Amino acid sequence: MQWTLAKHPTFDPIEGPVLIVVMDGIGIGCHDESDAVFLARTPTLDWLGAQVPTVALRAHGTAVGLPSDDDMGNSEVGHNALGAGRIFDQGAKRVQQAIASEEIFESQVWKEQVERVQRTREPLHFIGLLSDGNVHSHIDHLFAMIRRCRRETVPKVRVHVLLDGRDVPETSCLTYVDALEALLAECNADGHDYRIASGGGRMTTTMDRYEADWEMVKRGWEVHVLGKGRTFPSARAAIETFRAEQPGIIDQYLPPFVIAEDGKPVGPIRDGAAVVFFNFRGDRAIEITRAFEEDDFNAFDRGPRPDVLFAGMMQYDGDLHLPKRYLVAPPNIDRTMGEYLARNEVTQFACSETQKFGHVTYFWNGNRSGAFDPNLETYVEIPSDDVPFDQRPWMKAAPITDATLAALRSGAHRFLRLNYPNGDMVGHTGKREATILAVQTVDLMLARLLPVVEALHGAILVTADHGNADQMYERDKNSGGWARRPDGTFKPRTSHTLNPVPCHIWAPGRQLRLRPIARPGLANVAATLLQLLGYQAPEGYEPSLLA
């Protein structure tokens, strides 16, 4: 492999440091009452848009390796594209292809799962996010596996449903639960024993990430594995009860629950069982995987660990080999910008708070944990607050900025990257006014960064990984207007958007010109950053945005 970066033939390197700012979830909306980005006071972003080379980038669908342009982008695939400079088939597309070709069912792991439960007569358990958001999972993937279990006469199946309301409408979970119950009833009609066993909202149960809240995983372990929790006769009964008890609660925050019959849980995970975690995205799957697989696990008291055959839909961490067994091979993202810079002895700095720290490190580096060269790379994680994001929409933007300003002024880092999670994490709450404050916070932090970049004769590229804050209301599919709740208020949107994202490039004192590119996307950013650093992009990279 040739790792030496060639000098750019026509562009002299920027004298000072080169910084990329990823404004997570801040896209280009319709400039209306739903658009928190438009409604926010953003003098810094307004100045950048008017004064420096600016282009809109595609950040969803095929531009980031997803199956179609109807698929929302997300932070994982967005940072993969930003850091790799190329487009790779991503989790959703890989799984879709593996199911369509039946490759997944011919895998040794799937055969071992089925053979084990046919022998032990314990259930094959499926745990994962029940929706068609296609960001962490897709309900069609689960349905395909359940139908295959039926075809292969797997006697018992138990499903542990994590309710979405984040990548799909906020109170849509019964649509997916009812569809699942219908399929299970169809299977049971010919003698099988297939049931929902437990569940809970994705922000209360199981799907923590970056070790921000292990209690979430503990609650999931207790209902999924131990069958310990508040019991109900069905998932629908649990959801309807919680909604009656807590008016206004949305799906992602529903408490955990256990399905019981005659006073006993119908699906605790016991010795001899097989378990498939059917999310394909890794960040919110790693911790529950560790609970099932690690011998010296100590994040919480899990009690006696059942002897099960555990598999993920994909491998969630290639460096840590988590999980050991997986059904579909993940994309092999190689030759990332971070690795090229490390091998060319270019110093790097990466910073965010816990909620997005892995995005500017793990995902940016092509799903690789750790630094390529710790002597050349500095990674700074700012611990996130453990409070609802709409209650503190400023999050940790100021400490992230403080750390980045110190890194800039130190002169120790040639290339720096940071992520402000505010637009995404607060946008997911569906609270428009809080999201406006989140966007304004990011703009204020940019106002702190720009003068320092200018004083150091550096360059800054400001972009986003996908949209979210740019559309805070759901569309009515029939009228095309805003959907409304029964009380007449607009129905909040909590998921990502299909909108493009801004890209502003400023190098004080340098004349920059944009290259005409037909459909620029996030994958064009890596070559752009390399050009600012004075390098020609490696073979196969999408072209730079700059002429």
Catalytic residues: 75
Give the closest residue to 379 by CA, choosing from 366, 389, 370.
370
CA angle 63, 68, 74 (to 5 degrees): 55
In this structure, what are the phi and psi dihedrals at residue 322, rounded to the nearest 5 degrees?
-115, 125
Using only C-alpha atoms, the chain has a radius of gyration, in whole angstroms, of: 24
d(C-alpha 203, C-alpha 194), whole Å: 26
Please give the full DSSP string across 441-470, using - where no structure is assigned.
HHHHHHHHHHHHHHHTT-EEEEE-SSBSTT
* Contacts made by residues 448-454, CB under 8 angstroms, sequence distance 24+: 448/401, 448/405, 449/19, 449/21, 449/401, 449/404, 449/405, 449/408, 450/44, 450/506, 452/405, 452/408, 452/409, 453/16, 453/17, 453/19, 453/408, 453/506, 453/508, 454/508
| Largest Cα span, the chain | 76
Q: What distances in angstroms separate CA 233 from CA 178, 236, 258, 440, 470, one per listed residue?
A: 14, 8, 9, 46, 40
**Please, which residues bridge with residue 326 across strands?**
312
d(C-alpha 282, C-alpha 182), whole Å: 29
d(C-alpha 105, C-alpha 43), whole Å: 54
d(C-alpha 263, C-alpha 276), whole Å: 26
DSSP summary character for residue 15: S
Secondary structure class of 400 (helix, strand, coil): helix
